[in-house]
Amino acid sequence: MTNQNPQVTSNEQRITNHESRIYIAGHRGMVGSAVWRALEAKGYTNLIGKTSAELDLRNQQAVIDFFNKEQPDVVINAAAKVGGILANSENPYPFLMENLQIQNNLIDTAHKTAVSKFVFLGSSCIYPKFAPQPLKEEYLLTDSLEPTNEWYAIAKIAGVKACEAIRKQYGKDFVSLMPTNLYGPFDNFDLKSSHVLPAMLRKFHEAKTTNAPVTLWGSGTPMREFLHVDDMAQAVVFAVEHVLPEHLYNVGTSTDVTIKELAETIQSIVGHTGELVWDSSKPDGTPRKLMDSSKLEELGWGSTVGLKEGIANTYKWYINNLNQTIKLSRF
């Protein structure tokens, strides 16, 4: 439920308007494209986006030149190197270094130019593996991370702290939003690098015709929270349109399900009736990751897309874009 009286700055004090130049880094990925659609729907007319071929965010000078030319008022960092347990485990250095390069170049250049607002997007994996549930923002850096994705997590923690430092030292409106597990149109469905929900959706779809058995990693007992990307996009718009009082906010649904429940839901929506097999030799990852999103909810944002509705919507999009989805990534 959302609060009808958000404790944020009034419309007159907002630093953005429909003519503000808003740069969305990663605008063709799942999150960035959803943010683009959400802002466009609200009447924003000066949205800026560059593909990775047009602008390599790992290249500091290229980023500086781009900012000097485009002079954005607002920057939304939805660009990142992302992936599931397998991708993180097999590529620790790129997941650490490339994410540091991307976000450091964006944050530092935004700080040194005329950018009035910076929205940094991270992940719930920044919190300790065995942190109390639900996860609160103050649990950051209180214990050790989940080993299977610590490289990505450490990079994102550095981004959060960089934005906090700029906010603290210079008083600039740099804010970090930490979403729970996201899914939706333009997700990454590659089985070697995708997250659990899109990977399951693809596996069940490909096994549907023959009802072949579907094998999934782990025991099925870990619990996960899932947020539709359109809800995440609305959280970003909310952050763009208001000066939020703190530097870090969780973004989730405050509801989680077991991986087994998720699999059975996807299986039902896809129409697969074959056997479901759990490979317990594969890692489960963090036992539970439920976000406490009350801070942002109390300010006025709230999720609206239910899990079954969101999965059905995503599956429909997947079917309609089947020839392209295996090539899609989030950045």
Nearest 10 degrees: CA dihedral of 264, 270, 273, 279?
-50
Catalytic (active site) residue 152: yes
- 117 is known to lie in a ligand binding site: no
- 191 is known to lie in a ligand binding site: no
- 193 is known to lie in a ligand binding site: no
Which run of H or E residues covers position 296? helix 294-299
Extended strands (E) in the chain: 22-25, 47-48, 74-77, 117-121, 173-179, 181-183, 214-217, 223-224, 226-228, 248-251, 257-258, 276-279, 288-289
Which run of H or E residues covers position 317? helix 307-320
Using only the alpha carbons of the chain, give its radius of gyration.
19
pLDDT at 135: 96
Note if the bond before 147 is cis, omega within 30 degrees: no
- 55 is known to lie in a ligand binding site: no
Tokens, residue 252: 């989730």
120-157 CB burial, b ≥16 within 10 A, e <16:
bbbbbbbbbbebebbbbbebbeeeebbebbbbbbbbbb
Selecting among 44, 152, 315, 318, the annotated active-site residue is 152
pLDDT at 213: 97
Neighbours of 273 (CB within 10 A): 10
pLDDT at 15: 56
Residue-wise pLDDT tens digits, 271-293: 999 999 999 999 887 788 899 99
pTM comes to 0.89
- 217 is known to lie in a ligand binding site: yes
- 28 is known to lie in a ligand binding site: yes
Nearest Cα neighbor of 310 from 242, 206, 232, 258 is 232
pLDDT at 243: 95
Measure the CA–CA gap between 231 and 284, rounded to whole angstroms: 27
Measure the CA–CA gap between 282 and 201, rounded to whole angstroms: 19
197: helix, coil or strand?
A: helix
Domain boundaries, the chain: 11-187+225-256+289-305
pLDDT at 94: 92
pLDDT at 324: 65
Give the 3-state secondary structure of 141-177: CCCCCCHHHHHHHHHHHHHHHHHHHHHHHHCCEEEEE
> Which regions of the chain are under pLDDT 70?
1-15, 324-331
User: Can you count the helices (H) and strands (E) in the chain?
Assistant: 11, 13
- 122 is known to lie in a ligand binding site: yes
Q: Which CATH class is domain 11-187+225-256+289-305?
A: alpha beta
pLDDT at 327: 46
pLDDT at 10: 38
